[in-house]
A and B are shown apart, each in its own frame.
Chain A
Amino acid sequence: EPEVTQTPSHQVTQMGQEVILRCVPISNHLYFYWYRQILGQKVEFLVSFYNNEISEKSEIFDDQFSVERPDGSNFTLKIRSTKLEDSAMYFCASLQQGASEQYFGPGTRLTVT
């Protein structure tokens, strides 16, 4: 069964450094998403991406964040200058055109020290 994959599973970085989180969505899916889950809190929507551009973004998704689909398979989330409060689990998800349920990857745990 096709799955969303994410790398790395755990990333440790120092405050102020740039990080790139990588995702490979399910191959025939056309909508892509990033969510985050701060430890002990709810899952929060960051951004959606369709047809090579951002479709929707939340208030969390400020100028420090960017997304890109650099090739036909990868979908990346970049945080330009990480802060301590960016420490969270980041989930990628994808959705097939015409479907309603999003499929989530296993997540990347980002720790900012």
Chain B
Amino acid sequence: AQSVAQPEDQVNVAEGNPLTVKCTYSVSGNPYLFWYVQYPNRGLQFLLKYITGDNLVKGSYGFEAEFNKSQTSFHLKKPSALVSDSALYFCAVRDERRGGADGLTFGKGTHLIIQP
């Protein structure tokens, strides 16, 4: 069975500082990894993904994430936080072998709060 852990319920960062939201995963095969963001009363918006290739992937709104196979981690990062980045962030995984029919397994989410 696959799983995702987001160890922090909340991350507080001052505007302009770098941010990191942590994610570790467990999957039998090779992972497809995703980050989604949820603003209040909105659906999940896709931010970025890791499928294969370069371990550092770049996504929307200046976010990036680093895949680390040995640590089974996929931490979300941004060099300089904006107040508008405040939202709920979800990490998700699926097994590469299982194809498009497989649902995503999500972490419990991390509230990111950027203080002005």
Q: Are B44 and A43 in contact (CB under 8 A)?
A: yes
Q: Could you tell me if A101 and B43 are in contact, using CB atoms closer than 8 angstroms?
A: no
Q: How large is the interface on A (under 10, 10 to 19, 20 to 34, 35 or more residues)?
A: 20 to 34
Give the nearest-CB partner of B103 in chain A: A45
User: Is B67 interfacial (CB 8 A cutoff)?
Assistant: no
Residue pair A56, B102 in contact (C-beta under 8 Å) = yes
Contact status B43-A100, CB under 8 Å: no
Tell me if B104 counts as interface (CB < 8 A to partner A): yes
**Which of A58, A100, A103, A106 touches B49 (beta carbons < 8 Å)?**
A100
Contact A107 B107 (CB under 8 A): no
Q: Which residue of B lies closest to A34 (CB)?
A: B103
CA gap between A56 and B36 in the complex, in Å: 22
Q: What separation, in Å, do the CA atoms of A92 and B48 have in the docked complex?
A: 19
Kindly identify which residue among B34, B44, B101, B103 contacts A58, using a CB–CB cutoff of 8 Å: B103
Q: Which of A44, A48, A103 contacts B46 (CB 8 A)?
A: A103
Q: Would you give the 0/1 interface string for A68-112, flagging 1 where the beta carbon is closer than 8 Å to chain B? A: 000000000000000000000001010101011111111100000
| Docked complex Cα distance between A7 and B103 (Å) | 22
Contact present for B100 and A104 (CB under 8 Å): no
Mask: chain B, 81-94; 1 = CB below 8 Å from A; 0 = not: 00000000010100
25 intermolecular pairs with C-beta atoms under 8 Å apart: A33-B103, A42-B106, A42-B109, A43-B44, A43-B92, A45-B104, A48-B102, A48-B103, A55-B101, A56-B101, A56-B102, A58-B103, A91-B43, A91-B44, A97-B100, A100-B32, A100-B100, A101-B34, A101-B46, A101-B49, A103-B46, A104-B36, A104-B43, A105-B43, A106-B42
Closest 8 CB pairs of A and B: A45-B103, A55-B101, A104-B44, A106-B43, A43-B106, A42-B108, A104-B43, A31-B100
